[in-house]
Amino acid sequence: MKARRVSTHSTENKTTRTKETRSMSKLTNKVAIVSGSGRGIGREIALKLASEGAAVVVNDLDAEPAEAVVREITTMGGRAVACVGSVTEADFGTRFVGTALQTFGGLDIIVNNAGYTWDNVIQKMTDDQWSAIMDVHVTAPFRILRAAADYFRETSKQEAEQGREVFRKVVNISSASGVIGNAGQANYSAGKAAINGLTKALAKEWGRYKVNVNSVAFGLIKTRLTEAVAGEGHATIDIAGNEIKVGVNPQLMKNIEATIPLGRGGTPAEAAGSVYLLCIPESNYITGQVLVVGGGRP
């Protein structure tokens, strides 16, 4: 059997095609920051934005997953850098925005994605549970957006003086729990409802700066936080020294999926696609909206 001849130009041609594709992408020359993007939905958002040409600041609590996503992006010919740390740190917003400005020279897209659930019925919910969830889902996005305000305002003013209309994007990640509520999630439901309120307020404040501010409220998306866990055992994650149970009983998962018109939970890639829709030029006249992404289930 003849040995297959491999062209010495195959890798070069593939790289050239990748660069040409990226140059024609909708987010070419845009800079995005995505919190909580080392894993799950956040990772898929970072990869999607990068695949469409955006330079991305990747964030995670831990350095390893953040750097892994950076490597994925740079390997496919994109630009990325990690900003490791907890979004709940008082100076994180300034550091996150500063990383984009210092590394890539601008900021066009903010995705406030970082978060988790810490569930309990209200009579058993501690102050720590309440505060932790409000901090990560409301206070942290507020600080990140506040840190970006001066850049958005000054840059928009300069562009207006030049006769240019340039749109920037904020996508806050909410949940169906923040739209219709969910038993056992008083803290999470309140936090996700609050981010919708922040979204609507900033859409009015920042419209003059040509910043579109929207929320995406996810229904059931299959990630490590929602994956089925059989028996009495539970998977856990460690957040600031707190061991938090995650995962869903398989029968409960089956029951939930039976109520979804499309018949199943969504994938992280599908979730990322909905965020991408609110980052492209076609969404320039959409602001102050909450997009429910739940397969037809409110």
Please choose, from the candidates 61, 140, 45, the residue with its C-alpha nearest in 3D space to the C-alpha of residue 97.
140
Task: Report the alpha-carbon distance of residue 243 to residue 245 in Å, rounded.
Answer: 7
Among the listed residues 116, 151, 188, 209, the single catalytic one is 188
Contact 173, 118 (CB under 8 A): no
Q: For residue 43, which of 91, 144, 113 has the smallest C-alpha distance?
A: 113
Among 217, 215, 139, which Cα is nearest to 177's? 217
CA angle 186/38/138 to nearest 5° reads 30
Report the DSSP beta bridge partners of residue 291.
216
> Which two structure tokens, joined as six digits, stand for 75?
């390997």
Span between the terminal Cα atoms of the chain, in Å = 59
C-alpha 58/C-alpha 268 separation (Å) is: 16
Helix axes 63-75, 40-51, angle to 10 degrees: 20
- 285 as an active site residue: the answer is no
The burial class, CB within 10 Å (0-12 / 13-18 / 19+), for 233 is exposed
Question: Which three-class secondary structure state does DSSP give residue 265?
Answer: coil
Among all residues, which ones are annotated catalytic?
A: 188
